A and B are shown apart, each in its own frame.
Chain A
Amino acid sequence: MIAFEHVGKRYGGRFEALSNIDFRVSRGEMVFLTGHSGAGKSSLLRLIMRLERPSRGRVLVAGHDIDKLHSSQLPFYRRQIGVVFQDHQLLFDRSIYHNVALPLEIRGLPPRDTARRVRAALDKVGLLHREKALPIELSGGEQQRVGIARAVVNKPALLLADEPTGNLDPQLSADIMGLFEDFHRIGTTVMIASHDLALIARLRHRTLRLSEGRLVGDEEAA
């Protein structure tokens, strides 16, 4: 599903955020990405979303070199990837329902299908009863769950998450990770960047370890 071939990424000519990254993730796999902040986790995810382009090497997603995508194809590429952000990236001027519906509106789904899918996604994350609320009325954990609902409402084949449990307490973090495991179980490829090593260790999935822009560990699930 994802293949990095000797990928390097420099910013501003000097700072090397990633160097010689080489790994593959199979379809349906669930992978953690760990490392200290600044180790290059976010850069790596941004490369997969094609928010950045590699300075060296190739990034293949579903067998395609995504660097070769024309800018007019990018929106259609991104629609197939669900992304959960650490800071949720919710729109605070619209309700939970409309936040989750956004990817479907962009795809131009008929309102009836949209409603059905949004409710299913909200139900999945346990927030169906809050659909009319504004994001500001929700707790951090709830906001993160809205972010997850929005990421999966499109039924993406690939789900990326950047520090999805960043500011949450251990119990909430475990709940959130449980949600990701559910999506993994139905066949979605999941990649989660996190520095919560204790939580990752408990979940027993493949773990890619980054340090100063290098891949220093690739551990199979124990």
Chain B
Amino acid sequence: MSLDPPRRRAATPRSTGARSRGAVRSDRPAGRTAGTPAQGGARQQSARPQGQWRSWLRHHRAMCLDSLRRLIRQPVGSLLTMLAIAIALVLPSALWLSLDSAKLVDAELDASATLTAYLDKGVDEAQAQRILEAIEAQSNIASTRLITAAEGMAEFQQALGLDDALARLETNPLPASVVISPQSPSPEAMTALSERLTAMPGIAEVRLDLAWIERLRQLAEVGRRVTLALGVLFGLGVLLVVGNTIRLAVENRRKEIEVVTLIGATHAFVRRPFLYSGAWYGLGGGLLAWALLTLGSDWLSAPVASLAASYGAHYQLPALGLAGSTILLSCSTLLGWLGAWIAVSRHLAGIKPR
């Protein structure tokens, strides 16, 4: 609805203001939307979409800067809030990063998935060679390596360092074996291959190294789910931290909210500065979390590298990278914004102008 603005008229005798019952009749039912420019009200209600768009942008810019200024004006409080957010973000991010690198290890494992076929005890070298050729004729074979009984013994001695004890044995108890890398390392293909090999003459037993790979995969899946659950929990934690901070800010500016509501501010107008505050808290927390992660991974990288080296493995601590950093910062900003939104919406309903 729209009330007509005062008509600019010369001072007229006051009697015109006397009660004429019909005066209200002149108000035609204006459109329901308040922005409808009424005749004569056009100047008052500059409802041109472009102007509105510009003023909307202007208010966004003003509130964005204003909320940042308010944050800076209380550096300790703001920093504490951001630190709380950062700590809540660091744990799931670190877990996620470790899992991400575990995935790389997993891929390497796939490449190293092998079967070992142990040949019958009495098989001599020539027979072993024939069996090897028969194995190579099978499908899904990438490469094979024959380990004769003597080679097997040598490896065994080397690995265990039991030269003397083993040397005392009269006969070599180890059978010859063939190590096979399959083309497709999927569990199904490996199992099928192993069944075909077991059926071949001259082969006593086929060992599949699947079980522990499966176990590792399942462990990784458990880790992934734990990380997800922790991520959700700590994300809720961020919402609570921001929500509580914004709740206090709303309480502090209660009077201002009441006044602007009295003189016609929309909910969006009132909400805006708080949403920007929340987003700033989130962004600040995200940046702190990023710094903590970077520092932490620097601090850990040397011992982790030497630990990995002692196992003969090459393992590098994962870094966030550009994509990871972007995801971290946008998630934290979004969480801050969302926390503020929830807090403000909950509290605006409770603020009624007196």
Contacts and interface: CB of A to CB of B under 8 A. Distances in A.
B312 interface: no
Most B Cβ at <10 Å: residue of A1, A49, A75, A154: A75
Given A28-B17, A158-B3, A73 B255 contact: no
Contact of A62 (B1, B35, B44, B269): B1
B4 A62 contact: yes
A221 B264 contact: no
B266 interface: yes
Given A3-B24, A73-B34, A79-B264, A106 B353 contact: no
Contacts of A89: 258-259, 262
A74 to B, nearest CB: 8
A103 B263 CA distance: 6
B17 A106 contact: no
B2 interface: yes
Interface string A96-110: 000000110111111
On chain B, which size bracket covers the interface? 35 or more
A198 interface: no
B24 A62 contact: yes
A111 B32 CA distance: 28
Contact of B260 (A30, A106, A186, A187): A106
Nearest to A87: B354
A66 B259 CA distance: 21
Contacts of B352: 51
A91 interface: yes
B68 to A, nearest CB: 17
Given A26-B18, A73-B34, A155-B5, A108 B56 contact: yes
A110 B55 contact: yes
Contacts of A154: 44
B264 to A, nearest CB: 3
Contacts of B294: none
A77 B27 CA distance: 15
Contact of B29 (A24, A64, A81, A111): A64
B212 to A, nearest CB: 63
Contacts of A106: 260, 263-266, 269
A61 to B, nearest CB: 7
12 contacts: A26-B18, A26-B24, A27-B4, A28-B6, A30-B14, A75-B269, A76-B33, A106-B266, A107-B264, A110-B55, A157-B3, A188-B6
Given A73-B32, A91-B259, A220-B18, 20 more contacts: A26-B19, A27-B23, A29-B18, A49-B262, A62-B1, A62-B24, A63-B29, A75-B261, A75-B267, A79-B264, A80-B264, A89-B259, A103-B263, A109-B46, A110-B51, A155-B5, A186-B6, A187-B7, A187-B9, A220-B19
Interface of B: 1-9, 11, 14, 16-21, 23-27, 29, 32-35, 44, 46, 51-52, 54-56, 58-59, 255-256, 258-267, 269, 352-353
